[in-house]
Amino acid sequence: MNDAIQFLPPEVVNLIAAGEVIDSFAAVVRELVENSLDAGATRITVSIFPQLWRVQVADNGKGISLTNLQKCAQAHSTSKIHYREDLVKIATLGFRGEALHSMAQLSQLEILSRTAGEAGWQVVYDTEGKAGSPEAVAIAPGTIVTVADLFGNLPVRRKGLPSFAVQLKAVQNAIWQIALCHPQVTWQVRQDDKVWFNISPGASAKDILPQVLRRVQVTDLVSHQLSVNTHQSSVTSYQLPVDNHESTIEFVLGLPDRCHRRRADWVRVAVNRRWVNITELEQAILAAFARTLPRDRYPVCFIHLRIDPSQIDWNRHPAKTEIYLHNIDSWREKISQGIEEALRISPANLPGTAYHERVGKLLKVSAKKSDYKLNQDLPEPEINKSASDITLMELRAVAQVHNTYIVAEYPDGLWLVEQHIAHERILYEKLLDAWQVVPLETPIILQYLQPKQLEQLEFLGIEIEPFGEKMWAARSAPEMLHNREDCAAALLELSQGEDLQTAQVATACRSAIRNGTPLSLSEMQRLLDDWKSTRNPRTCPHGRPIYLPLAETALARFFRRHWVIGKSHGI
């Protein structure tokens, strides 16, 4: 990119979504920090002095030359785009050349900057963005922008803003969002000259999320990446010829058996390093997590799309949080596919050594009661025939405990799998794929049905007709239930449900192997194989966790295997 700041020609200015960009502390922070990131900064310090209406952002980016310092706060001055064509291939966070100019109008703006190999300069701007005479300063390479007395000339605007506490929360949110999209950056955020919070850099958003969401640990998360060739899937009339069709989607998901939230506040999407609101994609995320979480709970999920700039129109809204994404349906599909892959039980997705507490408690319990049964006669695990090319975990049934838990061995430890809910998950997904209603040989008589229940049964495809005073005959039933002795009770239960999914959950639950049922090793093995091939193996459709992992690393720690005592102890 040519680094010279130029004034955008009027025909480009006219194409840009204009609007009041600087309307809060958070907006000032966002614009300044985005400038730092566009300058390649890896270390950013934000200092806020709310009472003084002052914000300072210091970075170690490439700096601004003296010539550019003299132009940068004037209207439509930018080094990031120059021509109309550039608008369809925006690769920087900024491009309108408006932010510094607005800040000059609304505050006292001062910039100190030094480019590599040159001296540092300090420039103060007037309210039109004109630079005062530069003064030499000794600073490290990078830029320090200070915005002081923000909205000082607009007392009504100041009064209309929420309390400092609310504004600071918005600043914190803005920095969190940006940090997740730029995990390589070290952040220090200060308030009134004291450290407020820091964010350490990481390899991906997975390292940042636990620093932001205190109750979430890195081991509660799984990350996944999907490469998408947008060449075939996205040829549209307005698409320009571009060289790079390889896009990636990065997923960071909270494992549904480990974390979920009261609100959907962490179902988030970023596109090309910017946090955006794309309702269609957020809905795709929620749909992919459907029936994996407890009632009224929402997943933690951050998805970052890195796609060819020609696929995006950033120019929809001045705050750039609303964008047009071409081919939204194919992105929705990819998101569902990626979440499914990430939630699979595969060695690549295995978290490290969480569950210390649970492991500890469990071992205490099993020490008290030693009534487990262990069978030595082990069948070979079946080769998994899953359609997906993800390698699923090799799990081998070795025993059943209390006729309830299957002990499954895998190369790095063992799992306890609750047989009833694992089976419930298998059956539920079967029903999702094929809900079949079959005729009954002998009709089942149901009594005292309310009109709403009748409607519900008919909605589910169950044939039902009056059979006398307050009696009805059901002539068909869901395939999974039709041979069961409790079919009448099951139909009554279904008549009380709300929708097809609830009926499917209820049917799966009723048909699944009960706890307390003894299973042979081969039955257990089949159950494990079927279960690990499900799309959402971690939780049952009610959101309960299905398995408890006892990783070898956790066991080694518990048994103090690092205490080197001697060969006689079998170490």
Q: Measuring CA to CA, how many Å separate 188 from each of 34, 43, 55, 172, 261?
A: 15, 8, 13, 12, 27
Decide if residue 539 touches ligand ADP (CB under 6 A).
Answer: no
Decide if residue 94 touches ligand ADP (CB under 6 A).
Answer: yes
Instruction: State the nearest-atom distance from the C-beta of 48 to ligand ADP, in Å.
Output: 17
Strands (E), 453-569: 464-466, 471-478, 547-551
Q: Measuring CA to CA, how many Å separate 275 from each of 211, 328, 429?
A: 17, 17, 33
Angle among Cα 26, 27, 29 to the nearest 5 degrees reads 65
Q: What is the per-residue binding string for ligand ADP in 40-59, x denoting contact by CB under 6 A?
A: -------------------x
Q: Binding ligand ADP by CB under 6 A: which of 24, 54, 65, 80?
A: 80
Q: Which structure tokens are listed for 560?
A: 């103090």
Strands (E), 62-119: 77-78, 108-114
Could you write out the three-class secondary structure of 225-239? EEEEEHHHHCCCCCC
Query: With respect to Mg ion, which residue has the nearer C-beta, 274 or 538?
Result: 274
The piece of 99-107, 133-141, 164-172, 183-191 that touches ligand ADP (CB under 6 A) is 99-107
Q: Measuring CA to CA, how many Å separate 53 from each of 147, 151, 167, 169?
A: 8, 8, 11, 15
Specify whether the CB–CB gap between 247 and 304 falls below 8 A. Answer: no
The piece of 89-97, 118-126, 196-204, 344-352 that touches Mg ion (CB under 5 A) is 89-97
Helix axes 500-511, 487-495, angle to 10 degrees: 150
Q: Binding Mg ion by CB under 5 A: which of 22, 57, 99, 305?
A: 99
Decide if residue 36 touches ligand ADP (CB under 6 A).
Answer: yes
Decide if residue 94 touches Mg ion (CB under 5 A).
Answer: yes
Decide if residue 78 touches ligand ADP (CB under 6 A).
Answer: yes
CA distance 271 to 434: 36
Q: What does 4-41 look like in DSSP terms, one character per residue?
A: --EEPPHHHHTTS-------SHHHHHHHHHHHHHHTT-
Decide if residue 178 touches ligand ADP (CB under 6 A).
Answer: no
Q: What is the per-residue binding string for ligand ADP in 107-146, x denoting contact by CB under 6 A?
A: ------------------------------------x---
Query: With respect to ligand ADP, which residue has the nearer C-beta, 82 or 358?
Result: 82
Amino acid residing at 261: R
Partner that binds at residue 72, options ligand ADP, Mg ion, none, CB closer than 5 to 8 Å by kind: ligand ADP
Q: Binding ligand ADP by CB under 6 A: which of 60, 79, 177, 525?
A: 79
Instruction: State the nearest-atom distance from the C-beta of 96 to ligand ADP, in Å.
Output: 5
Query: With respect to Mg ion, which residue has the nearer C-beta, 35 or 419?
Result: 35
Q: Binding Mg ion by CB under 5 A: which of 24, 35, 122, 292?
A: 35
Tell me if residue 369 falls in helix, strand or coil: coil
Instruction: State the nearest-atom distance from the C-beta of 64 to ligand ADP, in Å.
Output: 4
Amino acid residing at 232: Q
Decide if residue 96 touches ligand ADP (CB under 6 A).
Answer: yes
Partner that binds at residue 331, options ligand ADP, Mg ion, none, CB closer than 5 to 8 Å by kind: none
Q: Which structure tokens are listed for 38?
A: 């566009």
Query: With respect to Mg ion, which residue has the nearer C-beta, 175 or 421?
Result: 175
The piece of 13-21, 29-37, 382-390, 455-463 that touches ligand ADP (CB under 6 A) is 29-37
Footprint of ligand ADP on this chain (CB under 6 A)? 5, 31, 35-36, 39, 59, 61-64, 68, 72, 77-80, 94-101, 143
